[in-house]
Structure 1
Amino acid sequence: MTQVEGHTKTLVDFHNEFETYCNLYLHQPVRTFGDLNAGDEGVYPQYVQLIDYIKKSGSNFLVAIPDSSHLGSDIETVTRSFLEIENAGAKVSCQDEDMPDPLQNALSVLGISGVSRTRSGKIRESMQEQAMWGKGLGRPPFGYRYVEDGSYEVIRDEAAVVELIYRLYTRDEMGMRLIVQHLNERGITTRRGGRWSVVSVRDILKNPVYIGTYTRFGLRLPRSHEAIVDAATFRAARDIVESRRPRGRVSRAEPYLLSGIAFCDYCGNKMMGVTRHQRWTNKNGDRNRKTYRYYQCQSRNNQSVCGYHTWREADLEGAVLAQIPMAIKAKELDRIDSNGRDGDLDEPLKAIWEERVRNAERRFLQAMRKTASGGADTDHLEEALSELDDARKGAQRSENSVDVDDVVRNWEELSFGDKRDFLITRVAKVEVADHMARVIV
């Protein structure tokens, strides 16, 4: 049983409300999951079963919850649960008629820092009313703009680009990366004049707004505005995306040690890990396979810009490891010279990481509000959470004194996790040029 606004609710009450919700919105109830208490180590077994059920079914379920507090007791926990359900292949909606969107609901139920409850209520009522009539919230999607009444109007120049993307993907059978290259090489830009990326192309191919369907806050309103592509083309694109999604057990490439801390010295973008597999048959008929791993400028990978700046994984990581002891000692000597006395190098390091955690928490809350208002997609929210996790790990590790020379000497005996923790804690960034890598601590 649960106390809700002074009244005791039982599981039967929750089940009845779920049935009523399904009948009202013409949904077919499938199964209910509910935890009264956490199990061992704070794990909620029914929630774990829910995620497992969604993944194994392969169906596109809608997960209905009374409100966002049923996903967690704080905004961060709610966000993590929401993203886990979405990544499993389902959508989430609250049974709260005034606030069905789970992220908006979380900000309402758990409070919005810096915004009064009165203002929050007015914002909620206004946004819900707009959504009911299929009127836009936040930034309009590429290909559309808002008119005075808040509805979508087609921008013809941008619509032509949307049509081109769908045609290249469905008729010409061109992959997303090749589409990105096709657009960027021809000077076709995004709304802000930037270059296209795989993420932006994928978002266009998956968004039903382009067949005239408005979706927001659990609502789905077909024919709410002028379509840019026909339904058959949209379905064909969706089927291709689904067919190219890995099924069953997928062997994932090992992560890269310098992910997130290695940057291109030419454009400033991140160096991302790339894995390539080569297969061939020799003269004897024997099949061979070899895997190549290297770091490459992300601009080149995702936006077809910058040069082909690449390093083999082992070469770059070896160059970085060789520089770390000298870089740290040089910084320590610099501190002694500037202060006129010796000091604990770890103390300022701890302060730096504490500030990084605070900044990461602020960025997460900003990303949460922006995503909830429709100004960003969930990829932006996931990236903010990932940065927060890295900052917390770094802060925790910075509390422990480390013998850098000993770590480097026994590097090959360390686990990947220990190597990664050492790097993100001790190295601020690595600037990578074609023939040189510079470690900054």
Structure 2
Amino acid sequence: MQAIGYFSASARRNGQKRSIGEQNRAFLDFCQRSGYEVAATFADPDEASSAGFDQLLEFLQRPGRTFTVVVIDALSALGPDLGAAALRLLELEHGGATVLLAHNGSEAFKALVDTWAERGEGTPISERVRSAMRRKAVRGEVLGRPPYGYRVGPRRRLELVPEEAVVVRYIFRLYLGENLGIRKIAGRLNDEGIPTRRGGRWSMVTVRDILRNRAYLGHYSRFGTTVTGSHPALVSPEDFRRVQDRLQARHTPARQRSVTPFLLSGLVHCARCGNKMIGVSRRQSWLTRSGESHSATYRYYQCESRTNQSSCGYNTRRAAELEARVREALASDDHPGPRVRMAGNVDSYHLELLSQVDRIESRIKRNRRQVEELVADAAHGHISLERLKALGADLAEEHRQLQAELAAARERIRAHESEAERRRHLEQQRERLLREWDSLPFNDLQAALRDVVDRIDVDGDDVRVYRRA
């Protein structure tokens, strides 16, 4: 059996800082004592660096390796706190390695959970807070935002908002009494000038969520607890059941689906209403006169306003045709140029990149909170250690992907730090697109397009591609 040593400048044992040399000697002693062969060692001599850990993860992905354990000096070698250590432990476990502690050979994950239980360090939501929230839910007290049609009353119970309650009943009546579909109901509400709670337009999603919400039966559900008769009902049980039956009947039976993303998602806009155009796939089957069965899949971009709100006109373009037009536009020197320029050599794309970094960092924080909640559940005996590892595997994979996205976004920001560098980067990306369009992996092709293209406006056959400049 083989063992890998990982050493870090952040490692501390019993409150004392451990040098890289001390960690290495402890690792070699462990291998000699336990009968392991040294496979490799990796180190991060700088607490701010993670290059050694990244190399370790790459090493674990090599084909043909035998059973491997990763040996660390202490949990602190994996991060400054238990939350950071938990994430890295999950990443190593996801890579197929068991992590052991050098001084006693115990499993690092069990030591982490035990330490968490003893000290509660890094726990995002304490058991006391969770219990208090559950007790409130049992009493029917509102937690979070109330559903449309209700507001939070003085006793933390839901009470009716008359003008919204009328709309909820109207939606159920349109669906049951007039047999309108969800999209047509959204269009009817928008045509009649009925706003949402925030003053916006209705969409298929908002209508569907209302039709499925059991709160309109007078039931309140949170934390797995349902309190019946906690507030005034807006729909009878019979009507609600009929709505669910019809929704289920209209739902396509579950089948294995392979979702193919659309290359220009987020870039294409309807020139008529200004809203985005979304990718739509339609599969059709038919019989010829001779009885032969045929089928085809059609992919196109369609105005989101028409799709979700039953407004705007029938503005669509076949996906392959539109992508070919964009490719031609990038090869041409005759283009509309930038759609938006801002003062101070900062364009809309640079602001978009900064916003993208903020969004990715928020997702990384949310990912870490989810990991911490899993560890806290294991520490308090709600789930087993094996269940923690199984549930955490996907979170570990998501964490690596988010880190890669963050690094790529920051690299693009660096490429745009000066006007000259920004222009050179855009031209290099344009040339790369024209040269490698057919060979680039989808994600790389899409990222390069978003670097170069600011916006695509479509009005029937009229297509305008705005390039960044």
Structure 1 length normalisation: TM-score? 0.56
- CA offset digits 1:350-387 (Å, max 9, x no partner): 9778624432136648999xxxxxxxxxxxxxxxx9x9
Q: Which residue of 2 aligns with 1:109?
A: 123
Q: Structure 1 residue 176: deviation in Å?
A: 1.8
Deviates more, 1:168-177 or 1:213-222: 168-177
When residues 158 and 420 of structure 1 are mapped into structure 2, their CA distance, relative to the original with a 3 A threshold, is same
* Residues 1:438 and 2:465 are matched in the alignment: yes
Alignment of structure 1 residues 133-282 onto 2, 5 Å:
133-170=139-176, 172-282=178-288
* Residues 1:405 and 2:431 are matched in the alignment: yes
Q: Structure 1 residue 130: deviation in Å?
A: 4.2
- Alignment check: 8 A CA contact 2:269 2:458 kept: yes
Q: Structure 1 residue 316: deviation in Å?
A: 1.8
Q: How many correspondences in the alignment?
A: 308
Q: Which residue of 1 aligns with 2:113?
A: none
- Aligned counterparts of 1:155 and 1:306: Cα–Cα separation in 2: 31
Alignment of structure 1 residues 25-424 onto 2, 5 Å:
73=86, 109-110=123-124, 130-170=136-176, 172-324=178-330, 355-361=354-360, 364=363, 392=406, 394-395=408-409, 398=412, 404-424=430-450
Q: Which amino acid aligns with 1:192?
A: R
- Aligned counterparts of 1:287 and 1:164: Cα–Cα separation in 2: 43
When residues 244 and 397 of structure 1 are mapped into structure 2, their CA distance, relative to the original with a 3 A threshold, is farther
- Aligned counterparts of 1:353 and 1:196: Cα–Cα separation in 2: 27
- Aligned counterparts of 2:295 and 2:237: Cα–Cα separation in 1: 42
- Aligned counterparts of 2:429 and 2:201: Cα–Cα separation in 1: 44
Structure 2 unaligned regions, length at least 5: 1-56, 62-81, 91-121, 368-398, 416-424
- Alignment check: 8 A CA contact 2:153 2:159 kept: yes
- Aligned counterparts of 1:311 and 1:291: Cα–Cα separation in 2: 14
Q: Which amino acid aligns with 1:439?
A: Y
When residues 394 and 166 of structure 1 are mapped into structure 2, their CA distance, relative to the original with a 3 A threshold, is farther
- CA offset digits 1:130-168 (Å, max 9, x no partner): 434212233321111222222212233322322232234
Q: Structure 1 residue 227: deviation in Å?
A: 0.7
SS of the residue corresponding to residue 141 of structure 1 reads coil
- CA offset digits 1:158-205 (Å, max 9, x no partner): 223222322343455443223222332333332233221111011112
- Alignment check: 8 A CA contact 1:320 1:439 kept: no
Q: Which residue of 1 aligns with 2:44?
A: none
Q: Which amino acid aligns with 1:215?
A: S
Q: Which amino acid aligns with 1:169?
A: Y
When residues 246 and 73 of structure 1 are mapped into structure 2, their CA distance, relative to the original with a 3 A threshold, is farther
Question: RMSD of the TM alignment (CA)?
Answer: 4.6
Higher relative contact order (CA 8 A, sep 6+): 2
- CA offset digits 1:89-117 (Å, max 9, x no partner): xxxxxxxxxxxxxxxxxxx9337xxxxx9
- CA offset digits 1:373-428 (Å, max 9, x no partner): xxxxxxxxxxxx9x979954852784897563243134234443342232234434
The structure with more radius of gyration: 2
- CA offset digits 1:116-135 (Å, max 9, x no partner): x9xx98x8787556434212
- Aligned counterparts of 1:363 and 1:306: Cα–Cα separation in 2: 34
- Alignment check: 8 A CA contact 1:394 1:424 kept: no
- Aligned counterparts of 2:247 and 2:214: Cα–Cα separation in 1: 14
- Aligned counterparts of 2:192 and 2:333: Cα–Cα separation in 1: 43
Q: Which residue of 1 aligns with 2:36?
A: none
Q: Structure 1 residue 287: deviation in Å?
A: 3.8
SS of the residue corresponding to residue 109 of structure 1 reads coil
Q: Which residue of 2 aligns with 1:102?
A: none
SS of the residue corresponding to residue 110 of structure 1 reads coil
SS of the residue corresponding to residue 263 of structure 2 reads coil
Q: Which amino acid aligns with 1:263?
A: H
- Aligned counterparts of 2:131 and 2:193: Cα–Cα separation in 1: 42
Q: Which amino acid aligns with 2:354?
A: E
- Alignment check: 8 A CA contact 2:150 2:159 kept: yes
- Aligned counterparts of 1:73 and 1:239: Cα–Cα separation in 2: 44
Structure 2 length normalisation: TM-score? 0.53
When residues 295 and 187 of structure 1 are mapped into structure 2, their CA distance, relative to the original with a 3 A threshold, is same
Q: Which amino acid aligns with 2:463?
A: M
When residues 355 and 406 of structure 1 are mapped into structure 2, their CA distance, relative to the original with a 3 A threshold, is closer
- Aligned counterparts of 2:361 and 2:432: Cα–Cα separation in 1: 36
- Aligned counterparts of 1:301 and 1:199: Cα–Cα separation in 2: 11
Identity %: 35
- Aligned counterparts of 2:180 and 2:407: Cα–Cα separation in 1: 40
SS of the residue corresponding to residue 145 of structure 1 reads strand
